[in-house]
Amino acid sequence: MNKIHFLVLILLILALLTSSCAQQAETSPRIWIDSPADGALVPSGGTITVLSHAYAKQGIAEVVLSVNGEAYRRDVPESQGAEYTQVSQDWQPNADGTYAIQVQAYDTAGQTSNIASITVRVEGAATVDTPTPVPTEETITPTPVITETPTQVPGSTIQFWAEPVQVQAGACTTVRWHVENASRVIFGGVDQPLNGSYQTCLCKNERYTLTVIQLDGTEVKQSLDITVNGVCETPALPPPAQDTTPPPVPSPAVPADGLTLACRSTQNLVWIPVNDPSGISGYYVKLEMQTSPGNWQSAGGFGPVSDKQVTVNVQCGVYYRWMVRAQDGAGNFSGWSAPSSFSINLN
């Protein structure tokens, strides 16, 4: 092979590689940080706004802001599903130091973008030294004392409510909260995100408490009372001459037991339906979240469900398990299925 043929072959290979990279860049989500600039020095005690732009051919679904490798908040753009969008996310540093700020985008198909990263230095505002006057023979002027003004830490903004706040016995409600300018949010004895919710089904009046640790370390508590009308009644059993045989136990199917899922706010729980001579009047589902190894807390109850699936609210970074049982047309309940577990990633 002569030199000319060899050079032509090299050029063809480079063209194919360039085309492949261009196609991949065109189809993969991308994100970049507009401000603050990499290496920026910002004063402490204030809110830092991270402004980023994202692109995805499938449309941008959400953008996650992380600080020092820990997910801080996730936001849905105002123009959700647009190919190109701008996202503004506020962050409140709780101490001076150097921080790594990262953003990552997710498109509507679940694909992740590159991770855009910058570093910023948070320091207290510098003070200007006033020179000491030189005394003369006639008068001696005392050196003025410079008094530092403490940095004001903004108070937390707390919203804590239920939808609805009044229910019939056995019905379900969703407790929601939205908190700004806080270091921790605690609900049900467990650390929660600044924005979150909890679904519960009630048979009597209940009071729920949200604990917020503010940026200055002080603790604020807010309580929420949910009113329940009526009482929960146990379904009457049919006469002995009628059907008293419980239906078969349904089996959880989706998500598969032990599956780890990408971060999301809702998840469909699907089970294999069963048959009974009296017919199936409905299914009941209970969902639990792990608060610590071996300890579980109710994350919601659902039923009767006439379908073979139900959509539940979930939180990122939490381990769940769920069980399902059936009720036949004669009022008989099957036993609960074996627990099926799944976890939701932070990212």
CATH of residue 71? 2.60.40.10
Let me know if residue 149 belongs to a domain.
Answer: no
3-state secondary structure of 19: helix
* pLDDT tens sequence for the chain (347 residues): 555 656 656 666 665 555 544 444 456 889 989 999 999 988 888 889 999 988 888 888 888 999 998 899 988 888 777 888 888 999 889 889 999 999 998 888 888 889 999 999 998 754 444 555 555 555 555 565 555 555 666 789 999 999 999 999 989 999 999 999 999 999 999 999 999 999 999 999 999 999 999 999 999 999 999 999 998 987 666 565 688 999 999 999 999 999 999 999 999 999 999 999 999 999 999 999 999 998 999 999 998 999 999 999 999 999 999 999 999 999 999 999 999 999 999 88
Q: What share of the chain is helix, strand, coil (3-state, %, to 5)?
A: 5, 50, 40
Residue 23 confidence (pLDDT): 47
CATH of residue 171? 2.60.40.2470
Residue 347 confidence (pLDDT): 80
3-state secondary structure of 25: helix
Report how far residue 344's alpha carbon sits from residue 259's, in angstroms, rounded to the nearest whole number: 9
Residue 139 confidence (pLDDT): 54
Residue 105 confidence (pLDDT): 87
Measured at the CA of 215, the angle between CA 177 and CA 129, to 5 degrees, comes to 150
Let me know if residue 11 belongs to a domain.
Answer: no
pTM of the model: 0.33
DSSP letter at 151?
P
Are the beta carbons of 303 and 284 closer than 8 angstroms?
Answer: yes
Let me know if residue 140 belongs to a domain.
Answer: no
Q: Assess whether 36 and 93 both reside in one domain.
A: yes
Residue 328 confidence (pLDDT): 94
Q: Assess whether 255 and 225 both reside in one domain.
A: no
Domain count across the chain: 3
- DSSP for 204-252 reads S-EEEEEEEEETTS-EEEEEEEEEEES---PPPPPPTTS--PPPPPPEE
Cα dihedral 296, 301, 307, 313, rounded to 10, equals -70
Residue 177 confidence (pLDDT): 96
Q: Assess whether 114 and 198 both reside in one domain.
A: no
Q: Residue 295's domain spans which residues?
A: 251-344
Q: Assess whether 111 and 163 both reside in one domain.
A: no
Q: Which helix (H) or strand (E) holds 6?
A: helix 3-27
Residue 225 confidence (pLDDT): 95
Let me know if residue 147 belongs to a domain.
Answer: no
Report how far residue 33's alpha carbon sits from residue 103's, in angstroms, rounded to the nearest whole number: 8
Tokens of 145: 């004392």
Tokens of 20: 């492949």
Domain boundary residue, one of 123, 143, 175 = 123
Q: Which helix (H) or strand (E) holds 305?
A: strand 295-305
Q: Assess whether 225 and 259 both reside in one domain.
A: no
Report how far residue 36's alpha carbon sits from residue 290's, in angstroms, rounded to the nearest whole number: 38
Let me know if residue 337 belongs to a domain.
Answer: yes
Report how far residue 241's alpha carbon sits from residue 246's, in angstroms, rounded to the nearest whole number: 14
Q: Assess whether 57 and 109 both reside in one domain.
A: yes
Let me know if residue 69 belongs to a domain.
Answer: yes
Let me know if residue 9 belongs to a domain.
Answer: no
